[in-house]
């Protein structure tokens, strides 16, 4: 192996996996700050503005590759590149206007990796070209489900390449494999890819380790927990309330704000929060409810939120994607941040982000998200009974009316959140793969003369 490792992170830049994308790029940026050479290979879509200066970015493949059941080189290399001349917002709106489009692409992606022995041959060939040109020694796959791609590359470069898999939402890929009639093949080849790595695969929480080991028939001895991390705000100054008025003009100071910040999809349980808000209104407990965040699978659930709020008579300050500045202001000025997911969440980045701003959180008592809000006997938030809007209302009422409880939770939030820094995540990943965390420091960072958001296309690497 190379004495100076070069890392390549393969990540799916699709909105359905925004949390995983943020995790991957946070890790890439942290490794880059240590002085490592890092490259990012995007699949389906890209979010180049997340990537630090000086990190090379390449498109491994476009979503058009998986338009049909068999991967199409023509649609990928030609049509995909042309479509990327269209602004990202327009591409996203178009994809969301086609019901089931993203799911279809992902089913076909899984089919291309698992339906026949050996992963997508031409995609492997392209990946190998990139790895050679970039002199990559360590390949990091953002999803364990992409493991066959890494294993195929390793078999071509057995002496110069190692890879590590990360599981952080792969239950959705298992569902896609089942829809394609490939669940048995998926489980078998996934285990093979895990065994083919020098290191156990990374999972993002203890609960998620047990979940995927059970659901996907994986060997728990070949899985290790490394918690995700976030970059903390550089400034200690709280953003002013007035910033929120630019997006939510009817918000008022002096009335408690309860916020949901995250993807607006059916599995996130936002309807439970609306029911709880109605129960609190009946108890004459005043709140201002804010709901905002991206969506990847179309606008249908956002419309449900609007219609349901109207039927309930609940006032909602509603928006789609908001800027980091607005998001941070919401974290700061909210009485609490609620994440009412009905899914067994692998992790909880939003909860950590909220606590890093000193704001208590309210999360389900189910899944990996519960692991991030407590340190020993200290808590940075409360849990409610999963799927139970009445208990959600009860716990929310405590956060709104019990000043002593709210104050004690708020006092713990930043200390608990500090356990999940980007630097700690980078330390844990490096230690996991046997690289000395003391050898590379922040002083080794090469300075970049300009912002590098150029995405290099597949056809830029020849032969």
Q: 288 CB contacts (<8 Å, ≥6 apart)?
A: 251, 252, 255, 256, 257, 258, 315, 317
- Angle, helix 183-196 to helix 171-179, in steps of 10 degrees: 140
Q: What is the pLDDT of residue 170?
A: 95
Kindly list the distances between the CA atom of residue 422 and the CA atoms of 23, 113, 233, 333, in Å, as whole numbers in the listed order: 9, 31, 12, 24
Where residue 458 falls (left for φ over 0; alpha for ψ -120 to 50; beta otherwise) is: alpha
Cα 305 from Cα 311, distance rounded (Å): 10
Question: Do residues 202 and 179 touch, judged by C-beta distance below 8 A?
Answer: no
> DSSP assignment, residue 11?
E
Report CA torsion sign: 443, 448, 451, 455. negative
- Please tell me whether residue 25 adopts helix, strand or coil conformation: helix
Tokens of 90: 């327009």
Question: Two tokens at 68?
Answer: 């049909």
The pLDDT value given to residue 254: 93
In the 8-state DSSP scheme, what is residue 463? -
- The DSSP output letter for 52 is P
Residue 89: per-residue pLDDT: 78
Q: Coil, strand or helix: which one is 359?
A: coil
Residues 419 and 145: their CA atoms lie apart, in Å, by 28
- 367 to each of 71, 252, 360, 364, how far by Cα in Å? 35, 34, 18, 8
Task: Identify the structural domains of the chain with CATH numbers, from first to last.
Answer: 6-231+421-448 (3.40.50.2000), 242-419 (3.40.50.2000)
pLDDT by position in tens, the chain (length 463) = 446 899 999 999 876 678 899 999 999 999 999 999 999 999 999 989 999 999 999 999 999 999 999 999 999 999 998 988 888 778 877 777 777 888 899 999 999 999 977 789 999 999 999 999 999 999 999 999 999 999 999 999 999 999 999 999 999 999 999 999 999 999 999 999 999 999 999 999 999 999 999 999 999 999 999 999 999 877 678 899 999 999 999 999 999 999 999 989 889 999 999 999 999 999 999 999 999 998 866 677 888 999 999 999 999 999 988 999 999 999 999 999 999 999 999 999 999 999 999 999 999 999 999 999 999 999 999 999 999 999 999 999 999 999 999 999 999 999 999 999 999 999 999 999 999 876 655 444 433 333 445 666 544 433 2
Which long-range CB contacts under 8 A does 153-157 form with residues at least 24 apart?
153/124, 153/127, 153/128, 154/196, 154/197, 156/124, 156/128, 157/128, 157/131
Q: Enumerate the β-bridge partners of residue 382.
A: 362
What is the reported pLDDT for 99? 75
Q: How far apart are CA 401 and CA 258, in angstroms?
A: 13
> Cβ contacts of residue 255 below 8 Å, gap of 6+?
286, 287, 288
Query: Starting from the edge strand earliest in sequence, which strands make up the sheet with 288-292, in order?
Result: 316-318, 288-292, 257-261, 336-338, 361-364, 381-384
Contact 45, 64 (CB under 8 A): no
């Amino acid at each position: 192996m190379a004495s100076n490792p070069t890392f390549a992170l393969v990540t799916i830049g699709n909105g359905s996996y925004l949390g995983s994308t943020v995790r991957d790029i946070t890790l890439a940026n942290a490794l880059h700050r240590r002085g490592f050479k890092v490259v990012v290979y995007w699949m389906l879509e890209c979010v180049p503005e997340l990537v630090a200066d000086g990190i090379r970015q390449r498109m491994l493949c476009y979503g058009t590759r998986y338009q049909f059941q068999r991967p199409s080189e023509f649609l990928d290399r030609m049509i995909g590149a042309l479509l990327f001349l269209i602004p990202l917002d327009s591409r996203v709106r178009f994809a969301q206007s086609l019901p089931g489009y993203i799911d279809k692409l992902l089913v076909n992606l899984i089919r291309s990796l698992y339906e026949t022995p050996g992963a997508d041959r031409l995609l492997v060939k392209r990946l190998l070209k990139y790895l050679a040109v970039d002199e990559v020694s360590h390949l990091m796959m953002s999803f364990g489900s992409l493991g066959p791609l890494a294993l195929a590359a390793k078999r071509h470069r057995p002496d110069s390449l190692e890879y590590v898999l990360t599981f952080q939402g792969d239950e959705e890929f298992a569902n896609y494999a089942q829809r394609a009639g490939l669940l048995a093949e998926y489980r078998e080849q996934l285990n093979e890819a895990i065994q083919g790595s020098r290191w156990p695969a990374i999972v993002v929480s203890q609960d998620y380790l047990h979940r995927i080991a059970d659901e996907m028939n994986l060997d728990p001895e070949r899985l290790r927990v490394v918690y995700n991390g976030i970059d903390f705000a550089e400034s200690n100054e709280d953003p002013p309330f007035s910033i929120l008025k630019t997006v939510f003009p009817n918000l008022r100071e002096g009335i408690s704000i309860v916020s949901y910040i995250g993807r607006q999809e059916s599995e996130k349980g936002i309807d439970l929060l609306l029911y709880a808000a109605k129960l609190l209104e009946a108890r004459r407990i005043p709140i201002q409810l804010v709901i905002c965040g991206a969506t990847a699978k179309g606008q249908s659930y956002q419309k449900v939120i609007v219609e349901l709020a109207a039927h309930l008579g609940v006032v909602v300050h509603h928006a789609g994607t908001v800027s980091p500045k607005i998001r941070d202001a919401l974290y700061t000025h909210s009485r609490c941040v609620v994440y009412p997911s009905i899914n067994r969440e692998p992790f909880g980045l939003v909860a950590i982000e909220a606590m890093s701003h000193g704001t208590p959180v309210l999360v389900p008592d189910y899944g990996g998200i519960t692991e991030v809000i407590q340190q020993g006997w200290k808590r940075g938030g409360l849990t409610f009974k999963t799927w139970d809007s009445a208990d959600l209302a009860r716990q929310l009422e405590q956060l709104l009316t019990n000043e002593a409880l709210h104050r004690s939770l708020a006092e713990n939030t930043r200390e608990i959140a500090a356990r999940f820094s980007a630097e700690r995540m980078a330390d844990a990943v490096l230690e996991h793969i046997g690289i000395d965390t003391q050898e590379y420091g922040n002083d080794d960072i090469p300075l970049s003369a300009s912002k590098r958001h150029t995405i290099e296309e597949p056809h830029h690497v020849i032969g």
